[in-house]
Amino acid sequence: MKKQKETVIEISFDEKDDYINQFNQQKLSSDLSNYILEECRGKSLSNRITLNMKIKFKITEKEKEELVRMIHENYKTDLEEYIIILKHSSLKKFIVFLIGITLIYLAYFNSIISSEVIKEIILIIGWVAIWEAAYTWFFESSRNKIRKKRLKQLAKCRVNFI
């Protein structure tokens, strides 16, 4: 059986406040969340993510379990939010694409608009709208897939206490 490669992120805590959100004791610190996400940049998406936590203060087993839960819950929530954003973005792309097609159709087949300048402006806006949608589908979708996969990895990452 082939062993899965790992991306190991070393994290050191001097005190409990280093990982707890200052406004909500049940949530992960946004600084820690951002640090972990930043440490994943450039790492293979096929690797399993492992967080090695070096705790320099006394911590109970229950507190360790709570920290692991906060980490997983943090990235699960981020993933759910990101999926909502992607759905809305997809709808907007589709609407912009349809607007582009409609404007191009108007520019070519509408005899009501007599001004050539206005027809050209409508035609340019139509092509720009189609290009925007196409660009997003072809180029930004891969970036979105990477972020989505990374958040999924972090939502179920392994956490070790050393």
Q: What is the pLDDT of residues 10-56, one digit of tens each?
A: 999 999 888 998 899 889 999 999 999 999 999 999 999 999 999 99
* pLDDT computed for residue 83 by the predictor: 96
Residue type at position 75? Y
* Antiparallel, parallel or unpaired: β 158-161 and 48-55: parallel
Check residue 140 and give its pLDDT: 83
Residue 4 has pLDDT above 80, yes or no: no
Q: Which band of pLDDT confidence, cut at 50, 70 and 90, is reported for residue 2?
A: low
User: What does the pLDDT read at residue 22?
Assistant: 86
Stretch 47-75: mean pLDDT, rounded?
95
pLDDT at res. 1: 62
pLDDT digits (tens, 9 = 90+) for 93-152: 999 999 999 999 998 887 777 788 999 999 999 999 999 999 988 888 888 999 999 999
For the purposes of burial, counting CB atoms within 10 Å of the CB of 152, is it exposed (0-12), middle (13-18) or buried (19 or more)? middle
Is residue 71 predicted with pLDDT exceeding 90?
yes
pLDDT of residue 136: 87
CA distance 125 to 121: 6
* Rounded Cα–Cα distance for residues 20 and 17 (Å): 5
DSSP 5: P
Both tokens of 48, joined, read 């399993």
Inter-residue contact 29 to 70 (CB < 8 Å): no
